[in-house]
Structure formats: structure tokens, C-alpha cells
Chains A and B, each alone.
Chain A
């Protein structure tokens, strides 16, 4: 077994620091998910509505967020808000703002897709049975929409967790940053540490996202 420099993780509180970094990444994505999913549900529902002006702006918002690399969005919020508004958000807050905007945009498109994929006849056959509008949504449309949405939105959540690896660029000390610090600090003592530490980072990301993926797969099978 080649020397992977795994011993550096045993030094001091290095492993704990790495886990702390993961904790920050998870905290940012969790907060963003919790805000962006209801927001996405709302925006997505509005996107299927009749208001043309509103739909235009929502579409514009979605396309803007989609076209911009997340890193550019992070820079825009982190540096831009200082220049434009004279307000300096912390890196973590900037990250939460960007991830929420991004999550809400992507989620709204998923919701829109799920809603329009419900055939108009499902509404009509519900109506024909005498269901009220509320009952139609409650018993027929929402259960079907949610079944379509859950695997998709879980996929979005894992993407958000993974993308937190970018936020070190605006000075947030998350897992990748901690890993870099550990590697740098031990460059002479354990020159191979880069392999071992990034391997551990890989495993930790995997452990964070894999159960979520499994859940998505399970739900997809159950409701597919």
C-alpha cells in the first residue's frame, strides 16, 4: 500500500476540522434547500398560470440563473453587493443567497414540468366525478405531482451539496478549503497527503449524498 499520507488526519484535530468543513457545506445546502423548495413550488405553480408578464419574468429569472455558472453568481453576490449596495454579506450568507436563488429557479422548472405533465383529462375526469377544485388538487393532482417531483428534487439537493465545493472561492472555509489547509500545512512532512486527504473528502461527499440518492431510487421504484 503506497503512503497516502492519511496520518495527517490524525494530527491535532484535523479530521474533526474536515468534518466541520463538511458540516458547513451541509448547513449551507440545507438552509438553501429548506428555503428554495417551497419557493420553487410557488414559482413553479405561478409559471403554469395565466399571467403572461409574470411568466416572462420568471422565465427570465430561470434562464439567467441557468446560464450563469454558479461561481459567477457567487462572485456577483459576494463582491457585487458591496459595490452596488454598500453591503458586505459574509461568504456563508452569500453562498446561502446564491444557492437559494439557484435552487428555487431549478425547482420551479421541475414543478412546472411535473404540473404540465399531468394530462388535462385528469382534471376533467375529477371534475366529471363531482370533485371540487380543491378536492381535485388534494386527491388527484398534488399526489401525482409529488410522486414525479421527489426523485427530481432529491437529485437537485445532491447537486447543491456537491456544488458547495465552489464556495471556498469566496472565502468560506468548507470541507475542500480545510482539506487544502491540511495538505498545505503538511507539505514537507507528508508530501503525499494530497492523495489521502482528497480521498477522504471524496468518501465524505459520497457518504453525504449516497443515502439521499438511495432514497430517491427507493421512492422512484415505489411510485414509478
Chain B
């Protein structure tokens, strides 16, 4: 049995009196890839943000091993170094070159030797096919390239767990693939990941476990097979059906 890295316990999160996450429990084990799906506004992105202390929570707890993650707490700087997060809109630093975007946190936060980090960064860039873009600026890159850089930036901190918040939602379809390929590669390397996505096919391919969240609760969870092929709950079926319908529509238009 692999050890548990991340524990979410009775998590409650409200926003302006409206419950977003409602008594939610979750455990992520080392090397596990957990994919979270669900309708817009169901709280899946919020859950991910709670895992990184970006959101104030009302009750319950989020723990990385033994460390409690809480917005505004003093230990956050230390814990966040172990949690890599990639956002929907890449959020590279526009005034820094690709390489400096990657080097900033390892050299300034972890105080690692610049030469070592640079070597590692270039190796990682090479793996995602962007070795030649090291000196480019974010504005010179396509969306897919930016997102791959953002992934490398998170990886270069050597995090224990990676959080992906709808990282392909802002991308053109062609670029979605190149980003998902990088994530599949990470899954193969047995990285621990929590992925929020709307790419159902990808979710099936990459996940060890799929969670379907609706109205701030985990409504159903299981292997990709169980969730996508034999969903038990009516709400899950309904949600997945909407996707099917959407897909047919898309095909007709194109």
C-alpha cells in the first residue's frame, strides 16, 4: 500500500454565504493520478485551490503528509514548494524569459545553485520539446508552448504532488494534445497528480481514479472504467451524456 500524500478532511468552503465545497473528503496516494470531473461551478477548481492554500476554508482540513495547509498560515511558503500548480491561463511571468521563469523559484525560494537548476531546467525543456525556446519570452510562444513551460516551471521545484487546474481549457484543440502528452508522460513516471479537466478521453487514459463532483460533494468515484463505462448515479450519467451530445454537435459543425 502506497503512503498517503494529501488528505482532505471534511472540507467546507463557502463564498459569500454560498456553500462551494460541502464536507468533502479525499485522499491522494503517492504515485496516484486523480482526475476530477464535474459541471462548471461544482467546486472542482476551488478544491484544487484549497489544496494549495489559495482559498480560505471554513472548516475541515487539508494536509500534505503531516503539514496542514491553510491560507495565510506561516508554513505555506515551505509547503507550497512541495506542491506544483499549473493554471488554466499559464500565468508565466511576462517580463522574464522562459528560462528565468523556470529558474526564479528554485533559485530564490529554494536557494539552489543556479547552474544546477539551469541544467535541470534545460533537460526538462528538452523533454517537452522546447529546448530552443529557453531564451524566448512568453509573448513569443503559442498557448500550448506556454502551458508546457508552466508545467516545467512547476516540475523544476521537484514537487511531491502536481495540481492541474483545467490546463487545456484555454487552448486550441491542436495544442491541447501537446500539453496532454506531457501530462501522460508525467503519469508514466509515476508522478502524483490531481487533474481537473473537461477532456473526458484524456481523463480515461490518464486516471487511476476519477472523481465526479457535483454541488461541492464527491458524488461518485472509481476507476475510469467504472465512472465512464458504468456510472451508477443518475447525475453522473446525465453529466457524461451532456458531453456525448456536445461531441456530436462539434462533429457536425466541423
Residue ranges of A at the interface with B (Cβ–Cβ < 8 Å):
119, 121-122, 124-132, 135, 139-140, 143-144, 147, 223
Contact = CB atoms under 8 A, between A and B. Distances in A.
Given A135-B109, A139-B108, A144-B95, A130 B87 contact: no
A130 B95 contact: no
A131 B87 contact: no
Contacts of B54: 124, 127-128
Interface stretch (B6-14, B20-28, B78-86, B203-211): B78-86
Q: How many B residues are at the interface, by size bracket?
A: 20 to 34
Tell me which of A128, A130, A140 has the highest count of chain B C-beta atoms within 10 A of its own C-beta.
A128
Tell me which of A125, A126, A135 has the highest count of chain B C-beta atoms within 10 A of its own C-beta.
A125
A199 B80 CA distance: 64
A77 B95 CA distance: 43
Contacts of B98: none
Given A124-B87, A125-B87, A131 B105 contact: yes
Contacts of A127: 52-54, 76, 80
Nearest to A128: B85
30 contacts: A119-B89, A121-B91, A124-B87, A126-B93, A127-B52, A127-B53, A128-B54, A128-B83, A128-B84, A128-B154, A129-B80, A129-B81, A129-B104, A129-B109, A129-B153, A129-B157, A130-B77, A130-B78, A130-B80, A130-B105, A130-B157, A131-B77, A131-B104, A131-B108, A135-B108, A139-B93, A140-B93, A144-B94, A144-B95, A223-B95
